[in-house]
């Protein structure tokens, strides 16, 4: 048995009966202390993440893919900003998936996703992902159930394909409450700095809250595997969420154990000129 890691707290094991409504979105369970102490711990984790990323890049043999999903205003952008603040931008690529273009729709649903998979040595972060094809697509019946339902299996096969190519996939749902979403959307209306993010469509989407929760539940339950686990992170408190995602990434990279390559034969001595 692998030793227990801090991040196991949020990991959804295969065959667990998942009930998102029973996960406390305001939880701070396991946090190293109060808000400030947790932020201090996150600073340490950020430095550790930067070291591990440097090794991953230098080694050039494996890659990491972080998939971020959440309800609207769930904190995906803020998580990316905070978690990767200390990492060399050369080694991390963030990809945001929007509603598919005509060209993307003229291909299979994984075509645009596969094209953005990280190369060896790289960390890729998907801000939304192929999971939208069983979330928004399901909630709004953008394709019939005969099309979206087999996608769980197709997603598992796709993620397995990346896994055997040395890509470690971790999937994180930032889980906020409906009340927290209301407050955040209201803030987007009230705060001139956040107003650009306000999208009247988000109010329409909010009416489908329960349908989205059901779609998330099934997507997570059907695609969490030992190799490509889902984590559900309580997201109402940003400082806890950031610490949790950092913990998950550091645990994952430590397990991947990237190594600086050994010096090539004969590369020793002093460069004199
Ligand atoms: P945002 O992340 O706020 O910029 O919004 C991106 C929008 O793209 C969201 O409304 C998503 O639901 C939508 N989106 C992303 N992927 C898909 C997809 N595969 N099919 C339909 N809509 C999508
Ligand atoms: Mg949005």
**167 in any annotated domain:** yes
Buried/exposed 89-118: b ≥16 CB within 10 Å, e otherwise:
eebbebbebeebeeebeeeebbebbeeebb
Closest ligand to the CA of 188: 2
59-83 pLDDT, tens digit per residue, is 999 999 999 999 999 999 999 999 9
Q: How confident is residue 263, by pLDDT bands cut at 50, 70 and 90?
A: confident
**40 in any annotated domain:** yes
Task: Tell which one of 75, 77, 105, 128 to mutate to probe ligand 1, the residue whose CB is within 8 A of the most ligand atoms.
Answer: 128
**272 in any annotated domain:** no
User: What average pLDDT does this structure show over 118-133?
Assistant: 98
Q: Is 150 helix (H, G, I), strand (E, B) or coil?
A: coil
**1 in any annotated domain:** no
**261 in any annotated domain:** no
> Residue 139: which CATH number?
3.40.50.300
Is-above-0.85 flag for pTM?
A: yes
Task: Give CA–CA dist 236/25, Å, rounded.
Answer: 6
pLDDT of residue 2: 66
**246 in any annotated domain:** yes
**145 in any annotated domain:** yes
CA of 199 to the centre of ligand 2 (A): 6
Task: Give CA–CA dist 206/214, Å, rounded.
Answer: 14
In the chain, how many domains are there?
Answer: 1
Tell me how many degrees the CA angle 29-33-35 measures, rounded to the nearest 5.
95
Query: Is residue 136 lining ligand 1, measured as CB closer than 6 Å?
Result: yes
Closest ligand to the CA of 77: 1
5-21 pLDDT, tens digit per residue, is 999 999 999 999 999 99
Other residues' Cβ atoms within 10 Å of the Cβ of residue 48 = 16
Structural domain including 119 reads 6-256
**262 in any annotated domain:** no
Q: Among the atoms of ligand 1, which is closest to the Cα of residue 133?
A: 19
Sequence-separated (6 or more) residues with CB below 8 Å from residue 224: 11, 12, 13, 14, 16, 171, 230
Are 125 and 93 in contact, with CB atoms under 8 Å apart? Answer: yes
Token match 């440097």: residue?
54
């Amino acid at each position: 048995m692998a030793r227990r890691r801090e991040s196991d707290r949020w990991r959804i094991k295969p065959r667990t009966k998942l009930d998102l409504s029973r996960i406390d979105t305001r939880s701070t369970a396991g946090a190293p202390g109060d808000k400030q102490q947790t932020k201090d711990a996150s600073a340490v984790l950020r430095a550790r993440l930067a070291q591990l990323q440097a090794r991953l890049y230098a080694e050039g043999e494996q890659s990491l893919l972080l998939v971020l999903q959440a309800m609207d205003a769930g904190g995906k952008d803020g998580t990316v900003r905070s978690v990767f603040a200390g990492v060399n931008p050369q080694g991390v690529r963030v990809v945001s998936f929007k509603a598919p273009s005509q060209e993307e729709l003229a291909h299979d649903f994984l075509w645009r996703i596969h094209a953005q998979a990280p190369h060896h040595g790289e960390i890729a972060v998907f801000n939304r992902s192929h999971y939208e094809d069983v979330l928004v697509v399901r909630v709004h019946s953008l394709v019939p159930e005969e099309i979206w339902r087999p996608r769980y299996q197709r997603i598992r096969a796709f993620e397995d394909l990346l896994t055997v190519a040395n890509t470690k996939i971790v999937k994180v749902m930032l889980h906020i409450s409906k009340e927290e979403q209301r407050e955040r959307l209201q803030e987007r209306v009230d705060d001139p700095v956040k107003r650009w993010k306000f999208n009247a469509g988000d109010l329409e989407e909010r009416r489908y809250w329960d349908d989205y929760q059901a779609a998330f539940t099934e997507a997570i339950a059907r695609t969490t595997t030992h190799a490509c686990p889902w984590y559900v992170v309580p997201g109402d408190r940003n400082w806890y969420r950031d610490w949790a995602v950092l913990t998950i990434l550091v645990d994952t990279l430590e397990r991947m154990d990237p190594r600086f390559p050994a010096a090539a034969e004969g590369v020793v001595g002093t460069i004199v000129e």
